[in-house]
Chains A and B, each alone.
Chain A
Amino acid sequence: MSPTPSVVIVDDHAIFRSGVKAELEGRVETLGEAETVEDAVRAITELGPEVVLLDVHMPGGGGVQVIEQVSKLRPQQRFLALSVSDDPSDVIAIVRAGARGYVTKTITGEELADAVRRVRDGDAVFSPRLAGFVLDAFAGDLPAEEVDPDLDQLTAREREVLRYIARGYLYKEIGLRLSISVKTVEAHVSSVLRKLQLSNRHELSRWAVSRRLVD
């Protein structure tokens, strides 16, 4: 695995693509760009990037479509969602489709490069807002008979880690606070991602269908 991760940028705004490319320059190698679902599927399968940077809203279907189509051809492909939208239904939908993280477009170039590297290495990337959504979605008690403890509940440690992410702490700062290693922090976040993708908690499905934001 090369130390510089490679990406394909999928976004329907050319200005935004060139901005991201410039910010990642020297930290991440941009193999290609695409602005429609169709172009994206072709570019990703041809260029084989380590990570796909993916916009949530696009003409012709959006990021969820790209993930669904690419996953059939490249099941191991890793995606990082990058969006202006902070609508819970968008966030939850794309993460449940298979994105390994969600960051908003106001992220700095350095943070974005760091997020790409994490996703390339198989870790999950949560923005503070996504951490807030997850805490909200997994809040409240479920009737005991409906709970799959493995998927429907967060452990106390996972909650603690998410709380620090929601407060804007970096993984290494969280590790220091909780006296655990960065690797352990990453493991907790990955475990939360798995629950988010697989849990059938009604709040998650409710979110995914309610509230649609215009493109």
Chain B
Amino acid sequence: MTKPNPGTLGTGTVVLVLGVFLLLQTNGTLELTAGESLGGLGVCVVLALIASSFSRRIALRGAEPEDEELASVALGREAGRISKVGFALGILLGAGLLFAWANGSLEAVGKVALAALVVTIALILISAPFWIAMVRRLGTERVARARSEERSDVAAHLHDSVLQTLALIQKRSDEPEQVARLARRQERELREWLADDRPTRPDERLADALRATAAEIEDSHGTPIEAIVVGDTPLDDRTRALVGAAREALTNAAKFAAAGGPVRLYAEIDHGDARVFIDDRGPGFDPDAIPNDRRGVRESIIGRMNRHGGRAEIRSEPGDGTEVELSIRAGGR
């Protein structure tokens, strides 16, 4: 049953009621006159007509305009299923009645109980579409409510972020560096927000920690940092040391190499082994000429990596940018 067919329900009802009446009549349980039988038939037809017109109207009312087609298809299918169930119930009921009558136990119940039973079943079947439509309408309302809540969330987010940034940009249009910085931060935040099918966990995962560190230094120094991370591993003491060293290298690059275009961080994590490269196209320097008191490079990068069983290599030449490679193996091997 794929087409909406509210008439099915009516037909089902008629057949069922007629069947029961016919059974009882031929048994002699009801002992109706010809006139009474005809009246009963008339009532059945009227009930069937009411049922079918009801179910059609309810089917259409229960649905949002955009969902109307979908709803009436679904409803038709449900009504079809219900009337099939009705048929089955009718047959079972008929069989039960036949059995009871054959036992002679029915006589005590009498005509009244039987008639009441028949009417009750008919009422249940007639009102079925109403209940289906009600359930359906509640579902549609829930979806609509969820949609409007989502829209409010989006509006609130855009208001707090993008609109604020645009306002700031207009105020500072004579400060190109500030404008670029604001636009870049907003771009990064918006991208994160759009791709947010997974919460970032910079306190637990190495990849998120590296990205968050790059974003933080980009913000505090105003130098664009492109971070590309392949693979991931949980944070532990040794990977935390790696993030610390990367932070130091990024800070140096952001401070001294801003004129050479974006600073790049590329990290590759594979089975717990991690390699991080920080490249800039700044003025470069002679690594052998680092004074011993420059704690930044010696302590925070090289020393820190060595203490955790890792390695730091710095390649730079005056005029040719700087390249820092940090590597650490799983379990400090």
Seen from chain A, the residues whose Cβ lies within 8 Å of a Cβ on chain B are: 86-87, 128-129, 131-132, 135-136, 139, 163, 166-169, 211, 213-214
Interchain nearest-CB distance for B154 vs A (Å): 10
B226 touches A139 (CB 8 A): no
Q: Which residues of B contact A167 (CB under 8 A)?
A: 264, 266, 277, 279
B268 touches A214 (CB 8 A): no
A168-B262, A168-B279 in contact; A213/B194 too (CB < 8 A)?
A: yes
B231 near A: Cβ within 8 Å? yes
Encode contact with A along B216-255: 1 for CB under 8 Å, 0 otherwise: 0000000000101111000000000000000000000000
Most chain A CB atoms below 10 A, which of B195, B228, B262: B228
Encode contact with A along B180-201: 1 for CB under 8 Å, 0 otherwise: 0000000000010011010000
Q: Residue on B with the closest CB to A134?
A: B230
Q: Residue on B with the closest CB to A211?
A: B197
Please give the number of chain B residues whose Cβ is less than 8 angstroms from any Cβ of chain A in the complex: 16
Seen from chain B, the residues whose Cβ lies within 8 Å of a Cβ on chain A are: 191, 194-195, 197, 226, 228-231, 262, 264, 266, 268, 270, 277, 279
How far apart sit A86 and B195, CA to CA, in the bound complex (Å)?
Answer: 10
A128 touches B228 (CB 8 A): yes
How far apart sit A79 and B229, CA to CA, in the bound complex (Å)?
Answer: 27
Interchain nearest-CB distance for A47 vs B (Å): 33
Contact of B195 among A136, A139, A166, A211 (CB under 8 A): A211
Q: Which residues of B contact A87 (CB under 8 A)?
A: 195
How far apart sit A166 and B270, CA to CA, in the bound complex (Å)?
Answer: 16
Q: Which residues of A contact B231 (CB under 8 A)?
A: 136, 139
Contact of B266 among A86, A132, A139, A211 (CB under 8 A): A132
Q: A135-B230, A135-B268, A139-B230 are in contact. List 4 more A-B contacts (CB 8 A).
A: A86-B191, A166-B266, A168-B279, A213-B194
Q: Which residues of A contact B191 (CB under 8 A)?
A: 86
Contact of A168 among B229, B230, B264 (CB under 8 A): B264
B230 touches A132 (CB 8 A): yes
Interchain nearest-CB distance for A39 vs B (Å): 27
Q: Which residues of A contact B230 (CB under 8 A)?
A: 132, 135-136, 139, 166
A132-B266, A168-B279 in contact; A214/B194 too (CB < 8 A)?
A: yes
Interchain nearest-CB distance for A95 vs B (Å): 17
Q: Residue on A with the closest CB to B265?
A: A167
Cross-chain pairs A/B with CB under 8 angstroms, 30 sampled? A86-B191, A87-B195, A128-B226, A128-B228, A128-B264, A128-B266, A129-B226, A129-B228, A132-B228, A132-B229, A132-B230, A135-B230, A136-B230, A139-B230, A139-B231, A163-B266, A163-B268, A166-B228, A166-B230, A166-B266, A167-B277, A167-B279, A168-B226, A168-B262, A168-B264, A168-B279, A169-B279, A211-B197, A213-B194, A213-B195
How far apart sit A214 and B190, CA to CA, in the bound complex (Å)?
Answer: 11
Q: Residue on A with the closest CB to B226?
A: A128
Q: Which residues of A contact B266 (CB under 8 A)?
A: 128, 132, 163, 166-168
Closest 10 CB pairs of A and B: A132-B228, A168-B264, A167-B266, A136-B230, A166-B266, A135-B230, A166-B228, A167-B279, A167-B277, A132-B230
Q: Which residues of A contact B268 (CB under 8 A)?
A: 135, 163
Most chain B CB atoms below 10 A, which of A135, A139, A167, A169: A167
Q: Which residues of B contact A131 (CB under 8 A)?
A: 228
Q: Which residues of A contact B277 (CB under 8 A)?
A: 167
